[in-house]
Amino acid sequence: MMNRIALGSLLLISTVFSTKTFAQAEAPKFSNEFLKIGVGARALGMSNAFIARANDVTAGYWNPAGLTEMTSDYQVSLMHSEYFAGIAAYDYAAFAHRIDSMSSFGVSFIRFGVDDIPNTTQLIDSEGNIDFNRVTSFSAADYAALISYARKSGIEGLSYGANVKIIHRNVGDFADAWGFGLDAGARYERGKWTYAAMARDVTSTFNAWTSNLDAETQEVFILTGNELPENSVEITLPELLLGINRKFIFSNRIGMIAELNLKNTFDGQRNVLISADPISIDPSLGLEATYDDLIFLRLGVGNVQVTDDIDGNRITTFQPNFGLGVRFSSFSIDYALTDIGDRSVALYSNVFSLRLDLNRKN
């Protein structure tokens, strides 16, 4: 309970006061970060090195161009995971449809939220007495809907796609935001090699925040020396992901793919492996071994961070991920052991995702 109160208070303060910080529509270094976590245990087990490999319904998130590689007419995917020792819940659901041999369509939904956060702003009544009956609860949640379309080009092996993103974020009744953005991706397959590019927030994504503090809460802010938040616009800058994938065939039943992704950001130096101004590059590497296209073993390394320790020494850390997958006819279940970047074994999460393949009746 105390952890939930602490995290909830932090979310409330940081989100509500972001309306003050970004009143001039500035671009923070980290924005809409819930959309950077990733979807599908298959990709998470490979440390998100997946933009070239993505060839199923989850491609609507990773690289919409990959939707053209679906092997069934319809696919549905579901995922649930929990972070921060179960305090935060992350949910994903998606549907994709192969329109014809050249084009596909998909819709994806994502929610990341902390629920049942105690609201103690009205804990003390007008006479200065503590009244626990005045404590209510609220949720701090981020939502996104991605509408995807992909099509094969006239060039053999080349496909392209795009996402329209609709974002809604809220902190109880205190503040909420609506945002809109675009992603664009391309994929080129030649022999055993696949090359991919994914431009996220290609036109920048804009979140318009609205403060909804009632009179009583505003009075609490004033009495405690806090500034009242203002309506604002928060900007998410573009980033470019590049990927290269290689297939290896060892026998009729055993194979493997290896993929390297490079995430390029353009907002100045970050604590990543290749850090410069204005471009920083964050690499990730993933492997997927398969047996008879029924059993899958996945490994990945990513989130390489170059930081200073308490003594000022330069250190490099990384996050290893692990995953398994099993396919039963039209049904697939995937598992990943991963976290969202703190590299703490104690906070690693068990992620499960499901996928169902369906075909039209002849």
pLDDT of residue 23 exceeding 80: no
Give the pLDDT confidence score for residue 150 in this predicted structure.
97
Cα–Cα distance, 345 to 319 (Å, whole number): 10
Residue 328: which residues within 8 A CB-CB, separation 6 or more?
none
pLDDT of residue 219 exceeding 90: no
Give the pLDDT confidence score for residue 194 in this predicted structure.
97
The predicted model gives 144-162 an average pLDDT of 96
The predicted model gives 190-217 an average pLDDT of 88
Choice between 313 and 302, residue whose per-residue pLDDT is larger: 302
Residue 273: Cβ-neighbour burial (10 angstroms; 0-12, 13-18, 19+): middle
Q: What spatial distance separates the first Cα and last Cα of the chain, rounded to whole Å?
A: 55
Band (276; pLDDT cuts 50, 70, 90): confident
Chain mean pLDDT for the chain:
85
Band (26; pLDDT cuts 50, 70, 90): low
pLDDT of residue 21 exceeding 50: no
Give the pLDDT confidence score for residue 306 in this predicted structure.
83
Using one digit for the tens of pLDDT, what is the confidence trace for 65-100? 999 999 899 999 999 988 877 788 999 999 999 999
The predicted model gives 103-118 an average pLDDT of 93
Cα–Cα distance, 43 to 50 (Å, whole number): 6
Cα–Cα distance, 337 to 350 (Å, whole number): 5
User: Do you find a cis peptide bond into 118, omega within 30 degrees of 0?
Assistant: no
Question: Do residues 109 and 144 touch, judged by C-beta distance below 8 A?
Answer: yes
Give the pLDDT confidence score for residue 357 in this predicted structure.
94
pLDDT of residue 106 exceeding 70: yes
Cα–Cα distance, 74 to 347 (Å, whole number): 35
Residue 76: Cβ-neighbour burial (10 angstroms; 0-12, 13-18, 19+): middle
Q: Name which of 48-52, 229-233, 291-295 the model is least confident about.
A: 229-233
pLDDT of residue 124 exceeding 70: yes
Query: Which CATH number covers residue 306?
Result: 2.40.160.40
Choice between 273 and 231, residue whose per-residue pLDDT is larger: 273
Give the pLDDT confidence score for residue 24 in this predicted structure.
43
Report the percentage of the chain scoring pLDDT > 70: 86
Band (316; pLDDT cuts 50, 70, 90): confident
Note down the domain range covering 84.
2-358
> What pTM value is reported for the model?
0.83
Closest CA to 356 of 336, 329, 330: 330
Band (338; pLDDT cuts 50, 70, 90): confident
Cα–Cα distance, 359 to 99 (Å, whole number): 12
Give the pLDDT confidence score for residue 117 in this predicted structure.
85
How many domains does the chain fold into?
Answer: 1
Q: Give 169's strand partners.
A: 142, 177
Give the pLDDT confidence score for residue 121 in this predicted structure.
72
Give the pLDDT confidence score for residue 290 in this predicted structure.
96
Closest CA to 76 of 290, 360, 355: 355
pLDDT of residue 22 exceeding 70: no
Residue 18 CA, distance from chain mean position: 20
pLDDT of residue 2 exceeding 60: no
Choice between 12 and 192, residue whose per-residue pLDDT is larger: 192
Band (319; pLDDT cuts 50, 70, 90): confident
